[in-house]
Structure 1
Amino acid sequence: MSRPRPGRSVRDEDPDRLYTVTGGRSRSDASRFDLVTLVVSECDPVVGMQSEHAMILRICRSPTAVVELASDLRLPVSIVRILLGDLLDAGRITARHPQTRAPGAGAFPDPHVLKQVLVGLRNL
């Protein structure tokens, strides 16, 4: 995978490359993966796998939020969601939303999840 050169932002990324990475797809089902959805690999990368898919599987050996993946891969969240959809459909990852509490039972988010989101946002 080619990463943006130092000093280049994702916005400077070649749109043709992003088109190729997603196989020409430009939309994903955003309801499947929000920014804090935790993704976990269910297998190791295999020979011949697209490099971005392989990197996702390596990064997600432990639960990783979608926003963190986008930061680590230096790709827009929309592109990462498309790649994650491919892996989920193939059974190579599992995705789960952070647990939420029942209304009225201390409606504050889990501090661990908030910390993960903050780390991911700082990495952007």
Structure 2
Amino acid sequence: MSPRLEDENPDRLYMVTGGRSNVADDGFDLVTLIVSEGDPTPGMQSEHARILRLCQGPTAVVEVAAELRMPVSVVRILLCDLLDMGRITARNPRPAPAEARLPDPDFLKQVLVGLEKL
């Protein structure tokens, strides 16, 4: 059975991140999609290698954290390392255009009139 996240040894997390507790604005949010740009190399930190194998296809940051059973804050630090090394690409989902988010007011009025006629 895999250890639960809350059972994670804080000293291990400290070692994994090299003592870093956060990164400057990294642009990684929970739904940022990560894609590996190559295979792990010998001598690579095991967590970095796991991320590269996991992200063969687009994978959200939150999914990476869940799979590694690590806090998102730690995973973001590891992703920054990989991004700086050119080993991953990251892209945020594009928001829908503003006009696609809100229905047309005239259409809503027509629906309301139609409902009143029922």
CA shift at 1:31, angstroms?
4.6
Structure possessing the higher radius of gyration over alpha carbons: 2
The residue aligned with 2:64 is 69
The residue aligned with 1:23 is 18
- 2:36 is aligned with 1:41: yes
The residue aligned with 1:79 is 74
Question: How well do the aligned residues superpose, as a CA RMSD in angstroms?
Answer: 1.4
> After TM superposition, what 4+ stretches of structure 1 lie above 3 angstroms from structure 2?
none
Q: Distance in 2 between matches of 1:51 and 1:9?
A: 19
Q: Distance in 2 between matches of 1:95 and 1:38?
A: 6
The residue aligned with 1:50 is 45
Identity across the alignment (%): 63
The residue aligned with 1:121 is none
The residue aligned with 1:115 is none
Q: Distance in 2 between matches of 1:85 and 1:54?
A: 14
Q: Distance in 2 between matches of 1:30 and 1:79?
A: 14
1:38/1:32 CA distance change after superposition, 3 Å = same
The residue aligned with 2:7 is 12
Structure with greater proportional helix content: 2
- Alignment TM-score, normalising by the size of structure 2: 0.81
Q: Distance in 2 between matches of 1:69 and 1:33?
A: 12
**Over residues 3-58 of structure 1, what are the superposed CA-to-partner deviations in whole Å (9 max), with x where a residue is unaligned?**
xx64x421221110000000000002355100000000001100000000000000
Count how many residue pairs are aligned between Structure 1 and Structure 2. Answer: 102
Give the unaligned 5+ runs of structure 2.
103-118
Q: Quick check: 2:34–2:59 contact (8 Å CA) kept in 1?
A: yes
Q: Quick check: 2:48–2:78 contact (8 Å CA) kept in 1?
A: yes
- Alignment TM-score, normalising by the size of structure 1: 0.77
